[in-house]
């Protein structure tokens, strides 16, 4: 329920492939302002219920109310629902209501950790915190802690997240289960469409080697330090093109800062399926995050035979082995936990990867093997085991 669209879609597909029936419930803003529910049979064994709601202050409350109604209809229609899996703390009221009404175990996945981490650093440094930030922090900790308390098991998407969830949300270790995120490796490793790639390169005016940043344009994604590195690299090497794919709060600053460089190209956010072509046209993908619970972009890029350059943040540190299947940039953490990354270090690794064709290709080839370790099926098997464990606490068995 809720949150993290790509992950939920991939997990639903993987579980369905393993014989389970999956119901996905998610919200969307209604353009016409009318509340409605639409059902899509997105693939065999996966039914998706989209709850359309008027945007505004009552959006979250309305979603929780409708979520309970839809879930009740599914459960009371005679469907054997073994587990409720929640992916967002915004669903807490609905989860509480359903838990009280039915003896169905709840599993939750904590996908993000940046709110309490950033707040803690600001507080320790004596940086002024706005009332809005204070409210966001208190809500995040309160909701996530309560959701974890209401769950039989909590999925952590990386080893780093198991530690951070315990630290910020006071979760007992025995409730936590490590299941790395997965990607549709089969789809990503499929032969690329050279005609599509060439058309895209021509449309964007890309020349030489291509460096890609894909993700939210936010400071915690390290995109500002990446921009500083890119500015140096592009001044030194005209035979390289840089693509920044995505949007975010740093958009305006990035476009202004890199405006003078003809070989830097900005592409707005697009649906996941359309981003695959950008992985295929790239030679190097950079993921310089300061906080990264897992690192889906790195795995997706590796599956598409890209040389990846990543920070040592959290899940990324578990995915990439420096000099084996990618390159790592050190993450600097000061005494209060504030994180930063060096633009010079990013620049140095970019220059090396652009100049050393043979070694770069070897890292990319090794990356493909590593990407298979984060396949959709492996993730589904791991989550399936968590479901069985959670269901066992209620005397249930997860069936096919």
Q: How many CA atoms lie within 13 A of 362 on its CB side?
A: 7
C-alpha to C-alpha distance for 310 and 330, rounded to whole angstroms: 9
**Which pLDDT belongs to residue 361?**
95
Burial label for 247, CB within 10 Å (0-12, 13-18, 19+), is: middle
C-alpha to C-alpha distance for 7 and 26, rounded to whole angstroms: 13
- Domain-embedded: residue 102: yes
Torsional sign, CA 193, 194, 197, 199: negative
Question: Are residues 12 and 147 located together in one domain of the fold?
Answer: yes
C-alpha to C-alpha distance for 347 and 376, rounded to whole angstroms: 33
- Domain-embedded: residue 399: no
What number of H helices and E strands is found in the chain?
16, 15
- Domain-embedded: residue 118: yes
- Domain-embedded: residue 267: yes
Q: Tell me: pLDDT of 397 over 60.
A: no
**Which pLDDT belongs to residue 396?**
55
C-alpha to C-alpha distance for 215 and 38, rounded to whole angstroms: 29
Question: Are residues 326 and 356 located together in one domain of the fold?
Answer: yes
- CATH number of the domain bearing residue 267: 3.40.50.2000
For residue range 92-101, what is the model confidence (pLDDT) as tens digits?
999 999 988 9
pTM greater than 0.85 (yes/no): yes
Question: Are residues 158 and 233 located together in one domain of the fold?
Answer: no
C-alpha to C-alpha distance for 107 and 236, rounded to whole angstroms: 51
- Domain-embedded: residue 356: yes
Mean pLDDT computed over every residue of the chain: 92
Question: Are residues 142 and 258 located together in one domain of the fold?
Answer: no
Per the structure, how many domains does the chain have? 2
DSSP string, 54-80: --STTHHHHHHHHHHHHHHHHHHTT--
C-alpha to C-alpha distance for 265 and 347, rounded to whole angstroms: 18
- Helix, strand or coil, per DSSP, at residue 190: coil
For residue range 338-355, what is the model confidence (pLDDT) as tens digits?
999 999 999 999 999 999
- Domain-embedded: residue 260: yes
Average pLDDT on 212-225 reads: 95
The helix (run of H) or strand (run of E) holding residue 202 is helix 194-204
**Which pLDDT belongs to residue 3?**
38
Measuring CA to CA, which residue among 339, 340, 341, 336 is closest to residue 125? 336
Residue 29 has which token pair?
């803003």
For residue range 230-266, what is the model confidence (pLDDT) as tens digits?
999 998 888 899 999 999 999 999 999 999 999 999 9
pLDDT confidence band for 57 (50 / 70 / 90) = confident
Question: Are residues 176 and 227 located together in one domain of the fold?
Answer: no
- Domain-embedded: residue 400: no
Question: Are residues 44 and 10 located together in one domain of the fold?
Answer: yes
**Which pLDDT belongs to residue 238?**
80
**Which pLDDT belongs to residue 395?**
55
Q: How many C-beta atoms surround the C-beta of residue 170 within 10 A?
A: 11
For residue range 182-207, what is the model confidence (pLDDT) as tens digits?
999 999 998 888 899 999 999 999 99
Question: Are residues 190 and 152 located together in one domain of the fold?
Answer: no
Ramachandran angles phi, psi of 37, nearest 5° = -130, 130
Question: Are residues 18 and 167 located together in one domain of the fold?
Answer: yes
C-alpha to C-alpha distance for 105 and 99, rounded to whole angstroms: 8
Question: Are residues 192 and 283 located together in one domain of the fold?
Answer: yes
Question: Are residues 158 and 226 located together in one domain of the fold?
Answer: no
pLDDT confidence band for 393 (50 / 70 / 90) = low
Q: What are the b/e assignments for 23-59, b being 16+ CB within 10 Å?
A: bbbbbeebeeeeeeeeeeeeeebbbbbbbbbeeeeee
Question: Are residues 202 and 120 located together in one domain of the fold?
Answer: no
Question: Are residues 47 and 166 located together in one domain of the fold?
Answer: yes
- Domain-embedded: residue 398: no
Range of the domain at 341: 185-374
């Amino acid at each position: 329920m809720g949150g993290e669209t790509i992950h939920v879609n991939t997990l639903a597909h993987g579980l369905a492939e393993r014989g389970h029936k999956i119901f996905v419930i998610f919200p969307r803003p209604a353009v016409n302002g009318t509340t409605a529910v639409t059902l899509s049979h997105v693939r065999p064994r996966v039914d998706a219920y989209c709850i359309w709601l008027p945007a505004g202050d009552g959006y979250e409350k309305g979603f929780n109310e409708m979520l309970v109604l839809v879930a009740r209809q599914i459960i009371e229609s005679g469907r054997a629902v073994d587990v409720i899996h929640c992916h967002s703390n915004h669903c807490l009221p609905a989860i509480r209501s359903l838990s009280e009404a039915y003896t169905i175990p709840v599993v939750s996945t904590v996908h993000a950790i940046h709110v309490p981490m950033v707040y803690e650093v600001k507080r320790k440094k004596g940086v002024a915190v706005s009332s809005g930030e204070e409210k966001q922090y208190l809500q995040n900790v309160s909701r996530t802690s309560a959701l974890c308390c209401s769950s039989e098991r909590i999925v952590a998407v990386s080893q780093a997240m198991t530690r951070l969830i315990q630290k910020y949300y006071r979760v007992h270790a025995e409730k936590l289960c490590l299941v790395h995120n997965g990607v549709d490796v089969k789809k990503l490793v499929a032969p690329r469409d050279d005609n599509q790639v060439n058309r895209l390169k021509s449309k964007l005016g890309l020349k030489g080697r291509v460096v890609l940043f894909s993700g939210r344009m936010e400071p915690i994604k390290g995109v500002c330090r990446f921009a500083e590195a890119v500015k140096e690299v592009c001044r030194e090497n005209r035979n390289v093109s840089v693509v920044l794919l995505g949007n975010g709060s740093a958009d305006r600053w990035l476009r202004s800062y890199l405006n003078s460089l003809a070989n830097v190209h900005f592409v707005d956010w697009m649906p996941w399926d359309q981003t695959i072509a950008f992985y295929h046209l790239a030679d190097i993908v950079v993921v310089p995050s300061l906080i990264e619970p897992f690192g889906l972009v790195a795995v997706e890029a590796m599956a598409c035979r890209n040389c990846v350059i990543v920070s040592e943040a959290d899940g990324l540190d578990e995915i990439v082995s420096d000099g084996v299947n990618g390159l790592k940039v050190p993450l600097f953490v000061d005494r209060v936990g504030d994180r930063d990354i060096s633009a010079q270090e990013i620049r140095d690794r970019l220059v090396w990867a652009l100049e050393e064709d043979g070694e770069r290709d070897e890292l990319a080839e090794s990356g493909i093997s590593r990407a298979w370790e984060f396949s959709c099926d492996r993730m589904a098997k791991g989550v399936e085991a968590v479901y069985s464990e959670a269901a066992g606490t209620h005397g249930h068995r997860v069936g096919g």
